[in-house]
Amino acid sequence: MKIIIAGGGIGGLTAALLLRKAGFEVKVFESVKEVKPLGVGINLLPHSVTVLNELGLVPKLAQIAVSSKALLYYNKFGQKYWEEPRGLYAGYKVPQFSIHRGKFQQLLFEEAKAVIGKENIFTNHHLQSFKEEDDKIIAGFIDHSFNEFIHEETGDALIGADGIHSVVRKYFYPNEGEPKFTGITLWRAVTETTPNFLNSSMVMIGNTMQKFVAYPIREDATSSTINWIAEIKNENNTTPPKRDWNKKVNKEVFLPAFRSWKFDWLDIPALIEAAGDVFEFPMIDRDPLPRWTFGRITLLGDAAHPMYPIGSNGASQAILDAKALTENLIANNDIQKALVEYERIRLEPTSKIVLSNRENGPDKIMEIMEQRAPNGFENLDDVISKEELQEVANQYKKIAGFEKKV
């Protein structure tokens, strides 16, 4: 059985590796000419790391990522109200990794070249068209920069792992339009700083109108690389800036709003000032779909369920899709039934995450704290109980599927 995968991102490459391991013939077609280490930090939750562990990737990941120790929440005055262990430190069998998204994609890309063979991975091949004919899929690819047809591939199934602007999704949902924007803009960058800067942990500071998130994505004995995200909501802003992972902006666009966020344990303006390039992009997603599978064609990852980057789920859910897709293709000789079953298993849980993230996912605790203690607190117990804090954290873990210590 030959599977055509459109998109050599995190979901597409993981699917390719898992499918190959299961004995399927796989060909991956990636739009960009060269896979460069684009993006900044992402997190891989333990359930997705379990899948990467099956591919033997955990030792390699451990060399380039940080095994996250804890998640901590603070109000805008830098007062801590919640801390929970993560990954190995919370009793999971595998770590939660914080990692540079581009380095992770490159690791998968190199692994895919070694396992699947360079001859089966095509860069500069942008899926443009496809059709189902006589129990086969025929996919047409162009060189995107010149808009020139370059290749046609025939296979038994087509997986649209082609990201938030998916061509495959657009074909089945031509009237969907642009992604949805809430007025929240994110500024992301990395800052090189001293070793053990945040004690291998992720910190969330502020509220849903203005937030700062930071975590290390690389550490050694002499330095650490901190990934950070500054986030501001402007409800009057209805026109999103174009989602371009390389749109650099001047720090002065958002730095003034964070000038007073200087705490004894973290100087946010200094962290921002010491950063290299800052990238701006809008917080966008799309509505959950009623269907992903159409005959021998299905969607995976951001193409199927683009979600707000809240709760560290984008990459993890794409990896879980890849796992479910492979398991169903192994279990079912009838491709179309396998793809329908894959959709049955993955569509509902991922739709719930998309919707939960619109309500701020686990970060809704930030809003609760802001409403109850806008001027900070002296005694946390007067504001919120430990049980309530735990309940919010547990609820989201359940929705995102990592409540069990896998």
Ligand X SMILES: Cc1cc2nc3c(=O)[nH]c(=O)nc-3n(C[C@H](O)[C@H](O)[C@H](O)COP(=O)(O)OP(=O)(O)OC[C@H]3O[C@@H](n4cnc5c(N)ncnc54)[C@H](O)[C@@H]3O)c2cc1C
Given the rule CB under 6 A, which residues bind ligand X?
6-12, 29-32, 38-40, 42, 101, 126-127, 161-163, 167, 245, 301-302, 309, 314-315, 318
DSSP SS3 for 378: coil
Torsion of CA 130, 131, 134, 137, to 10 degrees: 30
Taking the least distance from each CB to ligand X, the nearer of 310 and 392 is 310
Taking the C-alpha atoms of residue 23 and residue 2, their distance in angstroms, rounded to an integer, is 10
Task: Classify 7 as helix, strand or coil.
Answer: coil
Task: Name the residue nearer to ligand X (CB basis): 39 or 216.
Answer: 39
CB of 309: closest distance to ligand X in angstroms?
4
Residues 6 or more apart from 18 whose CB is under 8 A from it?
51, 54, 55, 322, 323, 325, 326
Nearest approach in angstroms of CB 197 to ligand X is 19
Which residue has its beta carbon closest to ligand X? 9
Residue 301 CB-density burial (10 A; 0-12 exposed, 13-18 middle, 19+ buried): buried
**Closest by Cα among 234, 235, 200 to 219:** 200
**219: β partners:** 224
> Which CB atom, from 319 or from 383, has the smaller least distance to ligand X?
319
Q: Which residue lies nearer to ligand X by CB, 246 or 371? A: 246
Instruction: Report d(CA 245, CA 239) in Å as an integer.
Output: 17
For residue 150, the minimal CB distance to ligand X (Å) is 12
Side-chain-side CA neighbours of residue 29 (13 Å)? 26
Distance, in Å, from the CA atom of 229 to the CA atom of 215, rounded to the nearest integer, reads: 9
Burial class (CB in 10 A: 0-12, 13-18, 19+), 182: middle
Least distance (Å) between residue 166 CB and ligand X:
7
Q: What's the angle, vertex CA 9, arms to CA 278 and CA 177, rounded to 5?
A: 80
Between 168 and 383, name the residue whose CB sits nearer to ligand X.
168
What's the min distance (Å) between Cβ of 208 and ligand X? 18
Token pair, residue 299, equals 């969607």
Helix (H, G, I), strand (E, B) or coil at 377: coil
* Residue 330 tokens, joined: 């192994």
Q: Which is nearer to ligand X, 142 or 198 (CB)?
A: 142
Q: How far is the CB of 270 from ligand X (least distance, A)?
A: 22
Q: Which is nearer to ligand X, 29 or 73 (CB)?
A: 29
* 75 versus 96: smaller Cβ distance to ligand X: 96
Q: How far is the CB of 10 from ligand X (least distance, A)?
A: 4
- Residue 252 CB, nearest distance to ligand X (Å)? 22
